Structure 1
């Protein structure tokens, strides 16, 4: 279903007005005056792969099937070639079960795990670099005019981030068109939802851009590369390991994307500089935001 937001039509858009995603609370400000706020909900979601419990993630509760699928894919516990027979979600017990035809190697993956800097789930099973060796990303050109347009549209899209804060967003884009916009309390959850949607819809990755509000960490870079997406963009900053891995795999990595400004630390060869930065509005803040992230 196409959802119109501003001058763009998303295939999946944020739902800041969904009462299930936020809760009204009352507090006091620095002067002692009463303050009413909407705060983001957190709910546990337990993910199973066939009969095996894998992990319990804290999430806002939307798109649980995409989150379950994407988490298993991005941890290497599902292969892109796997045939998923069913994805069952039980709202009452907050559980999603992904069922496959073949027997998976999840026991081996569970035996070895690394804690990373991510919020919410934040755990990578197995070797973090597994699957990157020999990976070649497509050299799809990235026009700076498209990047400026995406930044302008995404930052003005009604979202939980603008309504309540304390949340991350990830947007799958093609050219200057945002396609799906996922949000969650953990940036990795938002990316996993995108991965689950792409798998479900058999969506190609070679012509896509992934835009995130979160930091460009090693795990964000690894997940984007393993999804086959050649360009990762954020309005936030970088970690050194994230930059190093992006350069190793040839990922175009762009951060600090605000108004006229951005910094590219990897994959410069894809950039087509077809827009004058001085002609772009210099927006250093997100207007309309009511809460703190």
Structure 2
């Protein structure tokens, strides 16, 4: 049995997620390095084609379900009757017991700052003000030490190849589900889809991202009804405003025991004391340079 705390974690050696590419370094010497793949995936909801997104190409059913949930095209009480994936055509079809026409929705797309395809801001905001996050949830500051160590040292494409974003669903001091993708919005959607398909409760969870805290990250975390959002990166002002509006605990610049909280501070239990810092590995420090990009 594995000693890993994760239920799901990246496997950078999975065929098809990266490929070796030859080049030269700054001295002109030949090098070979892994480069992540990009694959177009077209998402259908019943008979309606919704969007084509560039993605890593793994966890496709979860990606599709999470996208539809976060765009309010699927509701929490919808029954999924089937998910068909055609790898050759790059198509995934999510079938539900009740059908709806989304043509009107697809006519108004306001792109967010998410990498690659982005998402429709207006659709995401439809239920935002109606979501009540768990006010009784608590976050121990000491949990960050163990979370940082487990996440920062886990094998991943983020470390081996770069050009990738990671998101992790956590429970207290344990990272549960670690998803990666070329766009942070895809990584979030994969986790949202996994939670829906596995009937995972959001109220005692923490959402961790390697990327910056933007409005999209805040909106999707609130959509998933997760009360705490953590990043090793920084904030945008609009994201902070939205987090305060929703009552989301927003923690950024999280490295070891150090962090900055700009919203939802009442949930935090400051118990880290004089615990030792968790030092990032050199490879993690190099990979982290992409966080602010």
TM-score bracket for the superposition, by shorter chain length = over 0.9
**TM-score of the superposition, structure 1-length normalised?**
0.94
Alignment partner of 1:154 out of 148, 151, 172: 151
1:246 aligned partner: 243
The number of equivalent residue pairs is: 287
Deviations 1:265-286 (CA, angstroms, capped at 9, x unpaired): 100000011112x422252x44
Deviations 1:32-53 (A, max 9, x none): 1111110111111110011111
Match of 1:47 in 2: 43
Contact 1:8-1:178 at 8 Å conserved across structures: no
1:86 aligns with 2:77: no
Query: Going by fraction, where is strand more abundant, 1 or 2?
Result: 1
C-alpha RMSD over aligned residues: 1.6
Equivalent position to 2:100, from 75, 98, 104:
104
Cα contact 1:78–1:104 (8 A) shared by 2: no
Residue 34 (str. 1) matches residue 3 (str. 2): no
1:274 to 271, 274, 293: 271
Task: Tell me the equivalent position of 1:77.
Answer: 73
Superposed, 1:110-189 pairs within 5 Å as 110-124=106-120, 126-139=122-135, 140-189=137-186
What secondary structure does 2:130 align onto? coil
Aligned with 2:131: secondary structure? Answer: coil
Could you say if the C-alpha distance between residues 236 and 34 of structure 1 is closer, same or farther in structure 2, counting changes exceeding 3 Å? same
| Structure 2 match to 1:60 | 56
CA distance in structure 1 between the partners assigned to 2:168 and 2:106 by the alignment: 29
Q: Which has the higher helix share?
A: 2
Q: Secondary structure at the match of 2:120?
A: strand
Out of 189, 210, 215, which is 1:213 matched to?
Answer: 210
Deviates most, 120-129 or 145-154: 120-129
Uncovered stretches (5+) of structure 2, i.e. residues with no partner: none
Q: Secondary structure at the match of 1:9?
A: coil
Does residue 1:198 correspond to 2:188, yes or no? no
- Specify which of 18, 21, 27 is matched with residue 22 of structure 1: 18
Using the size of structure 2 for normalisation, the TM-score is 0.94
Bigger drift between 105-114 and 254-263 goes to: 105-114
Write the mapping of 1:218-229 to structure 2, written as runs, cut at 5 A.
218-229=215-226
Match of 1:287 in 2: 282
Write the distance in 1 (CA, Å) between the matches of 2:88 and 2:78.
Answer: 28
